[in-house]
């Protein structure tokens, strides 16, 4: 599933093509492309002009010259593509937006992604209001986030994936952040010191900043940027997906365990409980 670096890469890729463009028409092509909580049909954005493209965690939205926004979640395989008028349709095309100069297309093979119209409150769609600010959000409060971490009696890997604590971190960057901070994924969040949680937050910021520079992580064609290009952070991964490979720090074998139904990769020597 695309995480913060991938969604931010998509947001940045959309800006030069979509800002100040008018949406002349909308063509929904699959019923699951529209979230059931959408205020109305996505065709209602026809005639609106895109003023800004914003993001929080794994959500992005198009701010319009209207009192509502068009929100998108990429799910597991959602993609936005910019195409010239008349270009052949993608196999899994779910919605088409005809803009002033090109087409914006929402493509989703597994149909877990969605689009929705949502009211805005303080510049944030109500559909996103329960999502905590991420590390790159101007509203991110480091002290409050550390307090939320320390209030959880659950394994730190689970807490990292809790989008109401700190958004944007998914399975890949959780494993990488824990490896960098030398924290075992089964450590109880409430038992970690303020310093250690601070190190974890710093590690998450560091790893996601690096991933942004490298266009995110692409294991297959299910995640690409708006021009169809893949990210290459996969080659910089130190823990995720590296089961039985040597740790880059101590050369012990990376292990895989399952926490909350999700694979977790860690070094048993560097990341002791």
- The string over 88-109, giving b where at least 16 C-beta atoms fall within 10 Å of a residue's C-beta and e elsewhere, is eebebbbbbbbbeebbbbbbbb
Give me the catalytic one of 32, 249, 255, 262: 262
3-state DSSP call for residue 163?
coil
Distance in angstroms (rounded) separating the CA atoms of residues 257 and 171? 13
81: annotated active-site residue: no
CA-to-CA distance for 126 and 15, rounded, in angstroms? 23
CA–CA separation, 200 and 180 (whole Å): 8
Both tokens of 1, joined, read 């599933």
Instruction: Return the number of other C-beta atoms located less than 10 Å from residue 78's C-beta.
Output: 27
Which CA distances in Å does 133 have to 42, 59, 97?
26, 11, 29
Residue 196 a catalytic site member: no
Q: Which residues contact 166 (CB under 8 A, 6 or more apart)?
A: 132, 133, 134, 135, 145, 148, 149, 160, 201, 204
Place of tokens 């769609």: 125
- What distance in Å separates the CA atoms of residue 250 and residue 267, rounded to the nearest whole number? 9
C-alpha span between 34 and 213 (Å, rounded): 31
How far is 42 from 35, CA to CA, in rounded Å? Answer: 10
CB 39, CB 68: distance < 8 Å? yes
Catalytic residue among 11, 55, 56, 58: 58
Q: Which one from 3, 6, 155, 176 is the annotated catalytic residue?
A: 3
Q: Is 2 a catalytic residue?
A: yes
Q: What is the DSSP letter of 187?
A: S
Whole-angstrom Cα Rg for the chain? 19
273 noted as active-site residue: no
Q: Which of the residues are catalytic? A: 2-3, 58, 262
């Amino acid at each position: 599933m695309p995480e913060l670096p991938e969604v931010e890469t998509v947001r940045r890729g959309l800006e030069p093509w979509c800002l100040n463009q008018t949406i002349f028409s909308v063509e929904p092509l699959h019923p699951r492309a529209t979230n059931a909580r959408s205020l109305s049909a996505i065709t209602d954005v026809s005639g609106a002009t895109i003023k800004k493209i914003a993001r929080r965690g794994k959500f992005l939205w198009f701010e319009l010259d209207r009192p509502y926004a068009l929100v998108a979640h990429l799910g597991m395989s959602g993609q936005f593509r910019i195409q010239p008028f008349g270009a052949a349709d993608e196999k899994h095309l779910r919605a088409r937006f005809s803009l002033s100069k090109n087409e914006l297309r929402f493509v989703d093979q597994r149909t877990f992604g969605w689009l929705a119209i949502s009211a805005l409150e303080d510049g944030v769609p109500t559909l996103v209001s329960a999502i905590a600010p991420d590390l790159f959000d101007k509203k991110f409060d480091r002290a409050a986030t550390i307090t939320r971490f320390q209030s959880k009696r659950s394994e730190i890997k689970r807490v990292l994936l809790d989008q109401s604590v700190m958004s944007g971190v998914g399975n890949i960057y959780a494993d990488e952040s824990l490896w960098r901070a030398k924290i075992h994924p089964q450590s109880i969040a409430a038992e970690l010191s303020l310093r250690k949680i601070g190190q974890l937050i710093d590690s998450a910021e560091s790893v996601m900043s690096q991933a942004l520079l490298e266009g995110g992580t692409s294991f297959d064609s299910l995640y690409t940027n708006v021009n169809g290009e893949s990210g290459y952070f996969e080659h910089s991964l130190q823990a995720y997906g590296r089961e039985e490979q040597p740790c880059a720090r101590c050369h012990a074998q990376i292990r895989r365990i399952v926490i909350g139904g999700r694979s977790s990769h860690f070094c048993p020597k560097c990341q002791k409980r």
